[in-house]
Every structure is written in structure tokens, then in C-alpha cells.
Amino acid sequence: MAKLYLKDKEFSQENKAKIVKRFREKLKEIEDSEKSLEYLHNFVIFQIQSQSYIDFNLSDQVSPYLIGQALLKLNRKSVRGLDGVDIYLRFKQGIRVCRAISRRIQRGLYSPSPYRIAEFVKDPSEPSNTRKIGIFSTTEKIIQRILVDILEPIYEPLFLPNSFAYRPGRSTYSAIEYLKETLISNEYRFCIKIDIKKYFDTIDHSYLSRMLNNTIRSQDIKQYIREFLKSSKLEKHQYVENSRGTPQGSILGPILSNIFLHHVLDKPVKSEYPNVEFIRYADDIVFFTKTNEEAKNLYNLILKQLYSYNLSISIKIQQYLFDLEIEEVHFLGFTFKKENGKIQISPNELRIIDKCQKYSNIFLRTLEKYGEYSVIDLREYIGQEIPKSILKASLFKQIDRFKNSLQQYRTATVDQSNILAEIKLLLIELKDQLFRFNISRNRIRTVMRYSETRLLKTVQTEETTV
């Protein structure tokens, strides 16, 4: 049996709730309405509306109360940074930590600490196809959260309504709803689809800084952003300074990436081609035109704009121009095509296939890492706090996650794909994987019964009630 070790002692759920409650109570005692996130938000809006830019020192606006508010807004499931400090430990340390961070900013002593890079293989069949995620310390996350709260009221009113990624209250499904309303006229025949090559890793810092200068004249805020972009990262046991790009996995990176493409593509395309409709979801973009000539001219503009800012189109996209009369376009898990003269938008059957493949890879990696230990039934822990390390190793937990993922997908879409057939194929593959790892037949039967109940029977029940 594979052995599993607990890396660190974890706080129980009950203790976590008590720690956060205690922190909220202590934070309430130092409430400062004139130095809070709400006041900062309104102050930014006031300056933008009165002079079109912000010009204040963050050191004058920060307070222990504001730091505590930002800490409470962080994702509590996020991974620890190089300092190894858990977010709940920060809560437990209480207001003194907020005071310490606030003093560093007020005295101009704050500078970003290095972050570590976690590299994930996107597709096991292509080991070289990886995604690098930046893992930051809790203190860095707090500062980034404050900077996002400053940038959002500046740029949200400027962003175009057809930009959907990393924006409050927007999602892939709101992007698709926008498309349905946009394309209802059925005048559009041609579609351009692009994906920018390694976009987040290739954002040019100097160009981004110039873009920010239009609306941000606060020297310390600009300095924080510059230092964030260039902060050292620990990658493969070496510290490296960022020369370009914005770290994926950061809190601040997404809005900076939106600001960059807003200037590089969104505004120029809207200005040059006001009748063209397009949807941008981060660096995945589709454009709709009425004529082939307009589409080709637009594509040339896109190439020119990207080249001007040291960006390029991903070579994975082998076809960029589609005739909707005879071709399908796949975007954000949906398919666009013309039928009987009308553009139809439907869930992409490939999406459920990809989802099954993704979880098949997860099951395989879990078995490879934990072997027989991965089929310990979580029901043995009824009434107990299940250690995170056990959850991570459990194949049953991964099956539950797949079931929840399926339910969310089916709730959000009117899915016509053959889900049952794909799940049956997945279960056959799972069974083969279990036999490969010499797991006892009793345990294999237990896993397969659990899988069929959680996946097959759930989907069948849902389909009979539709």
C-alpha cells in the first residue's frame, strides 16, 4: 500500500470558522470609515469623474482596517507561497499583522517578495505543453487585492461590453448569451477566430506601463505594479526576474491582461470596424463579418496590431477564417453554424469528451501516485474531519468532483451531446486503469459501483426528469 504523509498540521473546519469570526470581531473594533476599501473605491471614482485620472498616494489611504478587509476578500483555499504561511495563520495572528503591513506601506518600505512557479502539464500526451502558475505569499495577495480594487472602478467603465473574462458578474455563459443576442440579425456570414500565442507570458511591460500612465499618475501605485510585474520567481530551483508577461495565478494579472488587450485590439477594431461584432474572452477571440473581403482586411489589422505590441497568433489555430454557411466554429465550449439561413449556437459535443478525458487523466495520475491508498472509501470518515491529504489521494473524491462538474455543465447549458455514451467509455477506461495497478478485485468492484451510482445513474435520472 502506498504511504501518505501529512505535510503540515491543518486547522479543522471548526477552528477555521472560529479564527475568522474572531478576526472579524477584532477588525470591527478598529473600523476606520475614512480609510477603508469602500472609501478608497469611492475616492477613485471621484477622481476619475473629476479629472479622468487618479493622483494620490496609497500610503495616505492605507490603514490596518483596510488591510484586514483585503485579507478577508482573499480565496481561503489558495496555496501557500514561499513563506509557507497559511491564510488562516494570518487570521489567527490578528490585527497586529494588519498593522505591520500597513506600516510598511505608509513608510514606503514595502516591496514584493519572490513567488514560486508551479508547472502543470495541460495534456499528458504533450508533456511540453505546460501552464506555469505563480504562487504568492498571503501578504502579496493582500497588496494585489487592494490594487485590483483601485483598478476596477477605473477600467470597468472603459472596457467594451463584449469583453467577458476576469470581470465582475461575467462568465463564459454570459458571453454566449451576448453572442445569441448579437447574431440574431443573421447578417453575419464569416467568422475570424484567434488565440494569442502564450499571451500572459508575453505581455510587454513597457507598453503596459504607458497604457496605465493615461489614467494613473499615482507614483507609488505605478511603482507597486511595476515591481509586481518584475518581481523574482523561483522556477526550477532558480530565482529569475520577470522581463515580460504577467503571472498566471495572480490576483492582479487578469485585470492587467484585460487592460493590455483593451488598448491593443478592442479599441482599434471597434474604431476601424464599427459594424463588426466580436467577443473576447481573455485571449480567445471571435470576430463576425458580413463579407469575405471585410474579414480578410480585419485579419490584417489584427496581425498588425499584435505585431506592434510584440504579440502573435498561436500556431495551434491552423484555420482563422470560417464561412458559417458551410463550416462550424467552436468557441468557449459551443458551436456556431448556419442552418436554414440562421446562425445556430449549441453546446459543443467535444466539450463533454474533453471533460471525460480530463478526469480520466486525473484518475490515472491519482492511481499512479497513491496506488491502492487512493481507493480508501471516504465513508470511513463519517462524522470526522477528513484530512486534506486523504481527500487529495481519494479516487472517490475525484469521482465526486467529476459528478459535480457534470451537473454544473448540464445546469448551465441545454446539452444535446451523448453524455451517457462518453461516461460509459470513461468507466471502461477507469476499470482498465484499476486492474493495471494490481488493486484487489473487491476494491475495484467498490470503485466501479460507486462510479456507476454517482455518474451513470445521476445522468440517467436527470434525463428522465427533463
Tens digit of each residue's pLDDT (9 = 90 or more) over 111-154: 888 888 877 656 555 556 677 788 889 999 999 999 999 999 99
**DSSP annotation string for 224-248:** HHHHHHH-EEEETTEEEE-SS---B
Asked whether the predicted pLDDT for residue 460 surpasses 80, the reply is no
Residue spans of alpha helices (H) in 309-414: 349-370, 388-393, 395-412
Residue 42 belongs to some domain of the structure: no
Determine contact, residues 153/47, Cβ cutoff 8 Å: no
Q: Which three cell numbers stand for residue 453?
A: 451510482
Averaged pLDDT score across all residues of the chain = 85
What span, in angstroms and rounded, lies between the C-alpha atoms of 22 and 450? 40
pTM: 0.78
- From residue 108, alpha-carbon distances to 56, 60, 63, 118, 454 in Å are 14, 11, 14, 30, 55
Name the DSSP letter for residue 114: P
Strand order in the sheet with 342-347: 329-331, 334-339, 342-347
What span, in angstroms and rounded, lies between the C-alpha atoms of 373 and 12? 22
Q: Which of 90-94, 297-301, 412-416 has the lowest mean pLDDT?
A: 412-416
Q: Give how many domains the chain has, as a whole number.
A: 1
Determine contact, residues 351/417, Cβ cutoff 8 Å: yes
What span, in angstroms and rounded, lies between the C-alpha atoms of 102 and 84? 21
Residue 285 belongs to some domain of the structure: no
Determine contact, residues 325/376, Cβ cutoff 8 Å: no
Work out the pLDDT band at 451, boundaries 50, 70, 90.
Answer: confident
What span, in angstroms and rounded, lies between the C-alpha atoms of 54 and 421? 56
3-class SS of residue 122: strand
Q: Which residue has the higher pLDDT, 420 or 462?
A: 420
3-class SS of residue 163: strand
Residue 130 belongs to some domain of the structure: no
Domain membership of residue 402 as a residue range: 349-465
Residue 383 belongs to some domain of the structure: yes
What are the DSSP E strand ranges found in 52-197? Answer: 115-123, 126-135, 190-195
Q: Which residue has the higher pLDDT, 405 or 287?
A: 287
Q: How far apart are the first and last CA of the chain?
A: 44
Pairing of strands 342-347, 334-339: antiparallel
